Amino acid sequence: MSLIKSQDGKKWINSFIVISSGILGYVFIRFLQQIKDWFDLEAQIPNYDLLASLFGVAVGVLAFLFIQKSKTAYTHLNEVYSELVKVVWPEKDSVLKVTIGIVIGLTFVSLILLGVDYACRTILGFLY
């Protein structure tokens, strides 16, 4: 059962591009704010926060436009989407069973390592 339909490709790709561009713009704004704190730029440049926000938005918009207009990037995203459509997602019951098995296995291994650690500490306590 695939959660993603092959007809919705353009919608999902555009959504991914918008989200990625938004994240890139946000990271750029945070980077400029960090530079402001490092070099005390708000004292030297008036309205630095506004300029940093505008630059961040501009970087996000430019990234969106670049990816939209780039034939190779859009082709790559189409190929990724077409492969994602082929993924067969597991059923809820099988995921739950495997998760419970992993938790039980990790608990068992943790208890073994706890016992080995306790034994080593006890042996070292006798030696020193």
pLDDT of residue 6: 59
pLDDT of residue 4: 63
Q: Where are the domains of the chain?
A: 1-89, 90-128
Query: Tokens for 54?
Result: 């505008």
User: Looking at this protein, which amino acid is placed at residue 19?
Assistant: I
Q: Give how far Cα 67 sits from Cα of 16, 31, 58, 70, 79, Å.
A: 11, 22, 14, 5, 15
Average per-residue pLDDT for the chain: 91
The pTM score is 0.66
Q: Which of 25, 32, 100 is nearest to 63 (CA)?
A: 25
Query: Tokens for 53?
Result: 């926000």
Taking the C-alpha atoms of residue 113 and residue 107, their distance in angstroms, rounded to an integer, is 10
Taking the C-alpha atoms of residue 111 and residue 88, their distance in angstroms, rounded to an integer, is 35
29, 54 Cβ separation under 8 angstroms = no
58, 51 Cβ separation under 8 angstroms = no
User: Percent of the chain scored above 90 by pLDDT?
Assistant: 73
pLDDT digit string, tens, across residues 10-67: 898 999 999 999 999 999 999 999 999 898 888 888 899 999 999 999 999 999 999 9
pLDDT of residue 107: 98
